[in-house]
Amino acid sequence: MLSRDLGADLRSQSENYGGPSNTHHAEAQNTYDVIIVGGGAAGIGAAVGARQAVPASRILIIESEGFLGGAGTHRGVNSFCGIYSVGPDPKRVVGKIWDDVHSRLVSVGAAAADPDQIVALVQNFDPEGLKVALDDLTADYSIDVLLHCTVVGGVREGTKLSAVIVQERRGRRNLFARAFVDCSGDGDLAYHGGASTRYGNHGRVNMGSLSTRFGGLSGATPTSSLWRDAILAAKKVNPQLEQRIPRNVGVLIKLPGSGDICTYMASAQYDATSSASITAAERQGRKQAQIYLSILRTLPGHENMTLVATGPNFGTRESRHINSRHMLSEKDVLEQKEFGDTVAIGGWYMEWHDSSQPDWPIHFRTPPDGTFNIPLQSLQSIDTVNLYCAGRCADGDGAAGSAIRVMGTALATGQAAGAAAGLSAAGEGEAAAPDVRAVLLKHGAILDRTGLSTVCLKIRDDGKNLSHREALNGH
């Protein structure tokens, strides 16, 4: 296994980037049982799941950013959604893996012990605390991590992936494994590794938003409705703002510790696979953030309001999906379809951010009873037998995909995909669904919607956000 000091380990392998005499040694040093691309909620879940399935596995997370946490740390999404079901009677739908993450957040003062209420029950957190919590978690589970590595290719042998090619500061490098999990959010491993993928769904892609973090509000009482009314009033005075900042309202997330407010009104429709398109969106989003700031500073108590940070990256809600053995559908969600290979329970809305309407509204639709089943088939590549996926690149149509993408659900689908990859790597073929389910159940996963328990925790609602009814009725 690679040593804890990966920097020293890489230095010791410096000769392996060159001469052919070192090829065998380099391959041995760069070989794992399971490689996971992406260190967000899905990737963390996958690493834990792989370890739980086969404790002796050699597991690596490859992450393009300088820290773990995915959307929670480098896209400013500071709330775990999907841990609890939506609707008037919330139930816990993600099992003990959440307890592990949550307890670490609480221990470093990055989250409260009790959940928060926005349009539904969530868990707000401080992103710096999440970085530390996940560093500690991966160390405790003996998961190797490589940061600042970008996937640029893959090596196939028939219907299997045998290696992923990464670009790091010293050059390109091949990393070998018996099984892989794509938790990149953009399907990068699948796409570059020659597996079947698609961008969006039938020409439609859920719109992204840029996190904006505001400070200087200690003397203010900000609410979604107060900010909405100020924005609408400004547009009445200056109609040109309708084009410059189409969105009128967003959720307000109060961060633990600082008390800063994060919201997601700055938005854009862009191609998440195109650097040119993302660049234009980032610039547009930053301009929108400044306009919102200038409007909101006119409110009582908001005079000293500051823009603490944006992003740092745009929050992509949909990009590539891996074409799987079963595309989870809107019909599956609405009919609460039962699957023999259910490996996770979804508990979030079908949430569509609509750029086709002038004010870019958010459409929320609640699954029956607030829950739905997610099968292993939706996490298995259709044409690459040792490739699994989780998070927002899992296979769902426009509606279902918008419900399974959130971080709480991604943690659960990641755990399932990781367990399947671990079992696959340890055997001679793909993992059987009953074996995957057995691993998950052994480690406290929730796989049965009929046995869910109503939340008995103290729910923290600071009154900043629109009610569940207002959100469902289009604000």
Number of domains, the chain:
2
Which string of DSSP letters, residue by residue, matches 92-157? B-S-HHHHHHHHHHHHTTSS-SS-EESSSEEEE--HHHHHHHHHHHHHHTT-EEE-S-EEEEEEEE
At 363 the three-state DSSP class reads strand
Would you give the DSSP letter of residue 465? S
pTM as predicted: 0.92
Residue 282 within any structural domain of the chain: yes
Instruction: Write out the residue range of the structural domain in which residue 295 sits.
Output: 208-316
Query: What does residue 388 show for φ and ψ, rounded to 5 degrees?
Result: -120, 170
Residues 5 and 52 in one domain: yes
Tokens of 369: 């009873």
CATH at residue 335: 3.50.50.60
Whether 102 maps to a domain, the answer reads no
CATH number of residue 287's parent domain: 3.30.70
Within this chain, do residues 219 and 276 fall inside the same structural domain, yes or no?
yes
For Cα atoms 359, 361, 367, give the angle at the middle one, nearest 5 degrees.
170
Helices marked H in 297-395? 330-334
Tell me the angle at which helices 407-426 and 96-107 cross, rounded to the nearest 10 degrees: 120
3-state secondary structure at position 8: helix
Helix, strand, coil in percent for the chain, rounding step 5: 35, 25, 40
Judgement on whether residues 215 and 199 belong to the same structural domain of the protein? no
- Name the domain boundary from 316, 343, 361: 316
The one-letter code for the residue type at 454 is: T
Q: Does residue 88 lie in a domain region?
A: no
Phi, psi of 328 (to 5 degrees): -60, 135
Residue after which a domain boundary falls, among 295, 316, 337: 316
> Do 9 and 134 fall into the same domain?
yes
Flag whether 475 is in a domain: no
How far is residue 157 from each of residues 167, 188, 193, 385, measured CA to CA in Å? 21, 18, 11, 11
pLDDT score of 475 = 52
Cβ atoms of 67 and 212 within 8 Å: the answer is no
Please report whether residue 345 resides in a domain.
Answer: yes
CB 291 within 8 A of CB 245: yes
Residue 171 phi, psi (nearest 5): 135, -165
Of the residues 253, 281, 316, the one at which a domain ends = 316
Q: Are 269 and 316 in contact (CB under 8 A)?
A: no
Q: Pseudo-torsion of CA 471, 349, 95, 142, nearest 10°?
A: -100
Structure letter (DSSP) for residue 364? E
Say if residue 309 is in the same domain as residue 419: no
Kindly give the confidence (pLDDT) of every residue in the chain, 475 residues in length, as a single tens digit, with 9 standing for 90 and above.
333 344 334 333 333 333 333 444 445 579 999 999 999 999 999 999 999 999 999 999 999 999 999 999 999 999 999 999 998 889 999 999 999 999 999 999 999 999 998 889 999 999 999 999 999 999 999 999 999 999 999 999 999 999 999 999 999 999 999 999 999 999 999 999 999 999 999 899 999 999 999 999 998 999 999 999 999 999 999 999 999 999 999 999 999 989 999 999 999 999 999 999 999 999 999 999 999 999 999 999 999 999 999 999 999 999 999 999 999 999 999 999 999 999 999 999 999 999 999 999 999 999 999 999 999 999 999 999 999 999 999 999 999 999 999 999 999 999 999 999 999 999 978 999 999 999 999 999 999 998 898 886 666 666 666 565 555 555 5
Give domain status of residue 20, yes or no.
Answer: yes
Please answer whether residues 252 and 471 qualify as being in contact, where contact means their C-beta atoms are separated by less than 8 angstroms: no
